[in-house]
Amino acid sequence: MNFQSFHPPRRILMGPGPSDISPEVLASLSRPAIGHLDPLFIGMMDELKALLQYAFQTKNEFTIALSAPGSAGMEACFVNLVEAGDKVIVCRNGVFGDRMVQNVNRIGGEAIVVDSPWGRAVEVDKVEAALKANPEAKFLAFVHAETSTGALSDAKALCALAQQHDCLSIVDAVTSLGGVELKVDDWGIDAIYSGSQKCLSCVPGLSPISFSEKAVNVIKNRKTQIQSWFLDQSLVMSYWSGAGKRSYHHTAPVNSLYGLHESLIHLQNEGLENCWARHQKQHEALAKGLDKLGIKFIVPKEERLPQLNAIYIPDGIDDVKVRSYLLNEYNLEIGGGLGDFAGKAWRIGLMGYTARSENVALCLTTLTDALAQQQ
């Protein structure tokens, strides 16, 4: 066997994630590895916590990056908080809401599912009715930014409802963090998880999470032991806290955490509000161009995610042919449809470092070419 080093081409990542990684973040990954219990590394982990608190807009002490992808962040929230027999109201308006339902079922919890149409925001009225009908429910779980459909839900309103009904909120912010307004403390979010490879534009495989004091108390006062050893946050807590002295839990992905630190420094320097505004601006430029091409959005304007543009594939156009053409001719990746939208939709991501004018322009010209190829 004569395998060679792997040298991927430089693609432009305009799918549902991962997004493009800036040269500065890429460079940070190749800095020397040091021990994960080295005092210098522990100092960097402490900075990471502060940077994540800024990104989440929270003072939550328990704010860390899990050494695993967004899906593990989802699972960590559910396995730590929910016990067998607990009632959880789960909003489902796409693929990721459905995964929340599966998490609750596997724990032996009782999922009360509130379905909203795919391609639309979670219907707040329906959620309120479910909360009223199930006064013993302990949690309300929903996806802030449904990457499978491009819909943005009203996290502020949903969390306010959860509080009124004495429920803790569990929020999927994998695609929303850094891309749209998100305020963990102001909105009263209790458990939230995200991913490193969407609007934070870092390497995949890390999941920023944050738990409110209320959520931490629920974890501390569980009746049953958490089934997952690796995701048991009562163990992970002591790996991420303590004055300069940490106990070994697992080996953190040292260089990936350099990358996250670097990408969060960029977020801080740009400023969260400016970052949200940049995503919105690039989205509007893309939407204007798509409109000229006669391409229709799936989601109504006021419920659209700027960072994930879900559009209908025009009649008579071959999904895979177009996406392959863009990839092979232009090194440009856009996403296909998921679930109900497989073969019917494209998903154009404008996440993090990808959300720049030159990428919007390139996407519009190359898509125009790809469509012309099929006429």
Ligand X SMILES: *Cc1c(COP(=O)(O)O)cnc(C)c1O
Q: Of the two residues 70 and 259, which places its CB atom closer to ligand X in the complex?
A: 70
Segment 80 to 119, residues that bind ligand X, using CB under 6 A: 96
Pick the closer one to ligand X by CB: 172 or 190: 172
Q: Which of 70, 119, 178, 259 binds ligand X (CB under 6 A)?
A: 70
17 scored as a contact of ligand X (CB under 6 A) = yes
Q: 278 or 347, CB closer to ligand X?
A: 347
The residues, ordered by sequence, that sit 6+ positions from 250 with a Cβ below 8 Å of its Cβ are 67, 230, 239
The site for ligand X, by CB under 6 A, has a size of 13
Q: Determine if 19 is a binding residue for ligand X (CB under 6 A).
A: no
CB under 6 A: which stretch of 37-45, 65-73, 129-137, 231-239 binds ligand X? 65-73
Minimum CB separation of residue 311 from ligand X in Å reads: 17
Is 172 a binding residue for ligand X by CB under 6 A? The answer is yes
> Could you tell me the smallest distance in angstroms from the CB atom of residue 199 to ligand X?
10
Using rule CB under 6 A, residue 78 touches ligand X: no
For residues 12 and 351, which CB has a smaller minimum distance to ligand X in the complex? 351
Rounded to a whole number of angstroms, the minimum distance from the CB of residue 245 to ligand X is: 31
Considering the rule CB under 6 A, would residue 174 count as an interface residue with ligand X?
yes
CB nearer ligand X, residue 74 or residue 313: 74
Question: Quick one: which of 175, 210, 212, 280 contacts ligand X (CB under 6 A)?
Answer: 175
From CA 154, how far away is CA 199, in angstroms rounded? Answer: 19
Per the listing, tokens 């925001």 go with 121
Q: Which of 15, 119, 178, 195 binds ligand X (CB under 6 A)?
A: 195
In whole angstroms, the minimum distance from the beta carbon of 344 to ligand X comes to: 19
212 contributes a contact to ligand X by CB under 6 A: no
Q: What residue ranges bind ligand X (CB under 6 A)?
A: 17, 69-71, 74, 96, 143, 147, 172, 174-175, 195, 204
